[in-house]
């Protein structure tokens, strides 16, 4: 009987040991859940407003011709003209990307449902990042002038290219706010704030820019495009778990 009790005690002890350590099964380690720390978990969002350092200029050139071949050739000519304008203004080729090339038939429909082929529409679309914000309006005007009426502006908006400094400041603001909240809880509960147990950061978000385009009132400058940069907000949200000192 005593021997059986010893076996039972040893068996229970071995289970306790396994539950407090990792178990190696087939090369994978499974850890038993640790006892959770008492404390408080809080989230906070830090923000900072900055002036955009770039302009996103997305445009398309198009041609409508009797055949797909002639439409494609005309679109190629217009696209090359746009590239020449960008090159003359020293826009780096790494900041110019073709985003779409398409050719498709266009039809008109009579009231009786009869379908008539009007021709073929060829389109080429580009995304251009303008880093010289002061002269970005001049770049837009140059492309519009050289391509003419066969161009549409798809996007023209201030953007943040380098968000490193802004994100750092927003992160600092978020941590300070989270810590202030945690200290408030500790004071209200009559305890002392301990060590940080964990920190999670959520994605940086940028505010949507306000309307970007206006004309200068001066008669001399009235034909020039001016892009108002405004200010954009960079925000970072953190979730921090603090322990309470016992």
pLDDT score for 205: 65
Please indicate, yes or no, if residue 30 is contained in any of the structural domains.
no
Average pLDDT over residues 42-56: 94
Q: Which of 74-78, 102-106, 210-214, 236-240 is least confident?
A: 210-214
Q: How many CB atoms lie within 10 A of CB 131?
A: 14
What tokens appear for 183 in the block? 């200290």
Burial readout 12-21 (b: 16 or more C-beta within 10 A, e: otherwise): eeeeeeeeee
Q: Are residues 58 and 155 both part of a single domain?
A: yes
What tokens appear for 2 in the block? 């005593």
Distance CA 6, CA 124 (A): 83
- CATH number of the domain bearing residue 91: 3.30.70.2970
Please indicate, yes or no, if residue 9 is contained in any of the structural domains.
no
Please indicate, yes or no, if residue 73 is contained in any of the structural domains.
yes
Please indicate, yes or no, if residue 61 is contained in any of the structural domains.
yes
**Is the pLDDT reported for residue 210 higher than 80?**
no
Q: Are residues 73 and 149 both part of a single domain?
A: yes
Which of 115, 130, 159 lies at the terminal end of a domain, its last residue? 159
Distance CA 184, CA 190 (A): 10
pLDDT tens by residue, 26-44:
444 333 333 345 789 999 9
Q: Are residues 91 and 65 both part of a single domain?
A: yes
The domain tally of the chain equals 2
User: Structural domain of residue 47, as residue ranges?
Assistant: 39-51+163-245
β-bridge partners, 121: 64, 104
Please indicate, yes or no, if residue 32 is contained in any of the structural domains.
no
Q: Are residues 231 and 147 both part of a single domain?
A: no
Which of 98, 131, 159 lies at the terminal end of a domain, its last residue? 159
Q: Are residues 191 and 155 both part of a single domain?
A: no
Contacts of 150 (CB under 8 A, 6+ apart): 61, 62, 63, 74, 78
Distance CA 53, CA 210 (A): 15
Is residue 136 within 8 A of residue 130, CB to CB? The reply is yes
pLDDT score for 110: 86
Average pLDDT over residues 103-130: 92
Q: Which of 28-42, 79-93, 100-114, 208-222 is least confident?
A: 208-222
β-bridge partners, 196: 242
Average pLDDT over residues 43-66: 95
- CATH number of the domain bearing residue 190: 3.30.110.170
Distance CA 220, CA 22 (A): 77
**Is the pLDDT reported for residue 3 higher than 70?**
no
pLDDT tens by residue, 135-165:
999 999 999 999 999 999 999 999 999 999 9
Q: Are residues 113 and 192 both part of a single domain?
A: no
Q: Are residues 192 and 224 both part of a single domain?
A: yes
Distance CA 103, CA 3 (A): 88
pLDDT score for 203: 76
pLDDT score for 33: 34
**Is the pLDDT reported for residue 189 higher than 50?**
yes
Q: Are residues 177 and 111 both part of a single domain?
A: no
Distance CA 223, CA 141 (A): 9
Average pLDDT over residues 175-199: 93
Is residue 58 within 8 A of residue 155, CB to CB? The reply is yes
Q: Are residues 88 and 153 both part of a single domain?
A: yes
Tell me what percent of the residues of the chain surpass a pLDDT of 70. 78
């Amino acid at each position: 009987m005593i021997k059986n009790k010893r076996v039972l005690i040893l068996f229970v002890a071995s289970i306790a040991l396994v539950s407090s350590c990792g178990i190696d099964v087939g090369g994978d380690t499974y850890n038993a859940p640790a006892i959770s720390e008492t404390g408080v978990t809080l989230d906070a969002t830090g923000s900072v407003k900055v002036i955009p350092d770039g302009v996103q200029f997305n445009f398309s050139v198009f041609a409508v011709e009797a055949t797909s071949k002639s439409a494609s050739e005309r679109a190629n000519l217009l696209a090359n003209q746009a590239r020449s304008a960008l090159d003359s203004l020293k826009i780096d080729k790494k900041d110019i990307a073709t985003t779409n090339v398409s050719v498709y038939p266009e039809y008109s429909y009579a009231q009786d449902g009869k379908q008539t082929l009007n021709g073929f529409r060829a389109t080429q679309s580009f995304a251009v990042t303008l880093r010289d914000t002061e002269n970005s309006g001049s770049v837009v005007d140059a492309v519009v002038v050289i391509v003419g009426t066969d161009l549409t502006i798809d996007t023209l908006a201030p953007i943040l290219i380098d968000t490193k400094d802004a994100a750092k400041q927003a992160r600092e603001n978020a941590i300070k706010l989270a810590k202030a909240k945690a200290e408030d809880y500790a004071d209200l509960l009559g305890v002392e704030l301990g060590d940080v147990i964990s920190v999670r950061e959520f994605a940086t978000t940028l505010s949507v820019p306000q309307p970007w385009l206006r004309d200068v009132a001066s008669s001399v400058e009235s034909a020039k495009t001016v892009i108002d940069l405004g200010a954009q907000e960079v925000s970072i949200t953190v979730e921090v778990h603090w322990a309470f000192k016992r």
